[in-house]
Structure 1
Amino acid sequence: MDLQLAGKTVLVTGASSGVGLATARMLLAEGARVAGCARDVDRLRSALGGAPDPVHAVACDVLDQAAVTTFVTSTVDRWGGVDAVVCNAGRSLMATLDETSDAQIRDELELKVFGALNVIRAAQPHLAESDDPSVVVVNAILSRQPEPRLAVTSAARAALLNLTRSLTSSLGVDRIRVNSVLLGLIDTGQWSRRYAAADTDLTYAQWAAEIAADRGIVLGRFGAAEEVAFAIVSLLSPLSGYTTGASVDVGGGIARYL
């Protein structure tokens, strides 16, 4: 199926690994131009195969407003505009509330909220000039279904989901669609690191299956980054042109809310 993304310019944050990298690669396969940012630009360029055209790789911390502005304006200077944004940069803090400092709470809230808002604000005037502007915010099922072992991350993600829904209205006046993709447990580098730290005799597949069972994942496994990327790219497509304010779960059936 042609998703009608050929020639579109898409900003992807956190594009050097995991879901961001899988999304960038899928967009490129659809013929889109990808402006990817990450804090480690060398890693980003290597991940995207040396960053040949149509890739624009930029070093950027999404919490640095000046760096975000440079990322967006350099993309516009290169390709003339922005058609879509994927806000993907982020991390999870594995800790109960009692194990979390006030500084860590502030850091989580700042990253989740401003990590998306800085990019969207910088891109908004350019998105407003696109024929089919779209934003996808990568969030988590934790935003609706808190996890005590990720207490502050759950709260910060809930704030981001609420903000994203508000953006649907405020950006809608410029025809900018805003949707969320809510992740469950996705097989990315952080899980590989946790497996190594677990020092277990189980294989990775066995260890992951045990965690999936413990978390109540109906499909009994972690998700793949490419499975998330497909949901993101589908929402960016003009074929989803009447979808805004939606939240799509990609969690293998872990969600228990209605």
Structure 2
Amino acid sequence: MDLGFTGRTVLVTGGSSGVGRATVRMLLDEGAQVATCGRRPEPLAALGDHDRLHTAVCDIRDPEAVRRLVDGVQDRFGGLDGLVNNAGQSRMKPFAACTTADWRDELELKFDGVLNPLHAALPLLRASDAPAVVNVNAVLAREPSPRLITTSAARAGLLNLSKSLSRELAPDGIRVNSVCLGLVDTGQWERRHRAEGGPLDYDRWQAVLAADRGIALGRLGRAEEVAYAVTGLLSPRASYITGTSIDVCGGIGRGI
């Protein structure tokens, strides 16, 4: 199926690794013009040269840097049709170990990582005939973990924000949806497996991990499996879908 990306431009934040990189590559394969950013130049350079790819070093917590990024996208491609807010990370700390700075940093990263790109991109998105925003979130938003208390709280707030944005931006024709991840293998789990140096090979090791975490499909997810959901929601073919979220988690969620 043609997803309708030919001639359209999408900005993916945090596109130098993991889910962001998989999404960038999938969008390029679908014929889109793609812009992406990261905090370090080397991983961005590893994406390679492509006549439909624009890369820039940018910290999405800096509104002026994000505005320069979006200006560069407009100069290169002439507009913007889609925005994927993907940049982010998890903070493995329980409440007793969290400082005020930990809470502030986590909330700033999760919210600024959406608000700064959206503020900068809104004029271009409003000019598109099929604008869409996808916020990459986590199942922690609905099922918090005490081991990730700051991240869980920030993720819940981001899910709430995404729903509110979908209502406010609907009159402009801008769709806003979320993709919520479970445990996805973007390289960090394999590194952990090597560091532990146990007797199990990686496939068996991740099966044990999946069983411990209650993942129904018995394995970790893959970055490209998340990218399929992100790309589908961005597509003009999904023109009647807004204000919703899709869990890509292998059945780890216990809620209905």
Which AA in structure 2 matches 1:245?
Answer: G
Kindly state the Cα deviation for residue 116 of structure 1 after the two structures are TM-superposed.
Answer: 1.0
Tell me which residue corresponds to 2:141.
143
In structure 1, C-alpha distance between the alignment counterparts of 2:11 and 2:26, rounded to whole Å: 13
Tell me which residue corresponds to 2:245.
247
1:188-233 per-position Cα deviation (integer Å, ceiling 9, x unaligned): 1222333334343322222211111011100000000000000000
Matched, 1:134 2:132: yes
Which AA in structure 2 matches 1:67?
Answer: A
Tell me which residue corresponds to 2:78.
80
Unmatched runs of 5 consecutive residues or more in structure 2:
none
In structure 2, C-alpha distance between the alignment counterparts of 1:41 and 1:103, rounded to whole Å: 27
Give 1:21-60 correspondences, 5 Å limit.
21-46=21-46, 48-49=47-48, 51-60=49-58
TM-score by length of 1: 0.96
Q: In percent, how many aligned pairs have the same letter?
A: 56
Which AA in structure 2 matches 1:174?
Answer: D
1:1-47 per-position Cα deviation (integer Å, ceiling 9, x unaligned): 1101111100000000100000000000000000010011231121x
In structure 2, C-alpha distance between the alignment counterparts of 1:100 and 1:12, rounded to whole Å: 30
Matched, 1:164 2:162: yes
1:82-139 per-position Cα deviation (integer Å, ceiling 9, x unaligned): 0000000000111211122221111111101111111011101100000100000000
Tell me which residue corresponds to 2:175.
177
Tell me which residue corresponds to 1:14.
14
In structure 1, C-alpha distance between the alignment counterparts of 2:117 and 2:127, rounded to whole Å: 16
Unmatched runs of 5 consecutive residues or more in structure 1:
none
Give 1:145-224 correspondences, 5 Å limit.
145-224=143-222
In structure 2, C-alpha distance between the alignment counterparts of 1:195 and 1:28, rounded to whole Å: 32
In structure 2, C-alpha distance between the alignment counterparts of 1:52 and 1:151, rounded to whole Å: 40
In structure 2, C-alpha distance between the alignment counterparts of 1:192 and 1:178, rounded to whole Å: 33
Q: Which moved more, 1:192-201 or 1:105-114?
A: 192-201
SS, match of residue 27 in structure 1: helix
Number of residue pairs aligned between Structure 1 and Structure 2: 256
Kindly state the Cα deviation for residue 170 of structure 1 after the two structures are TM-superposed.
Answer: 1.6
In structure 1, C-alpha distance between the alignment counterparts of 2:137 and 2:192, rounded to whole Å: 21
In structure 1, C-alpha distance between the alignment counterparts of 2:24 and 2:77, rounded to whole Å: 16
1:59-88 per-position Cα deviation (integer Å, ceiling 9, x unaligned): 000001111001101100111100000000
Superposition RMSD in Å: 1.1
Which AA in structure 2 matches 1:200?
Answer: G
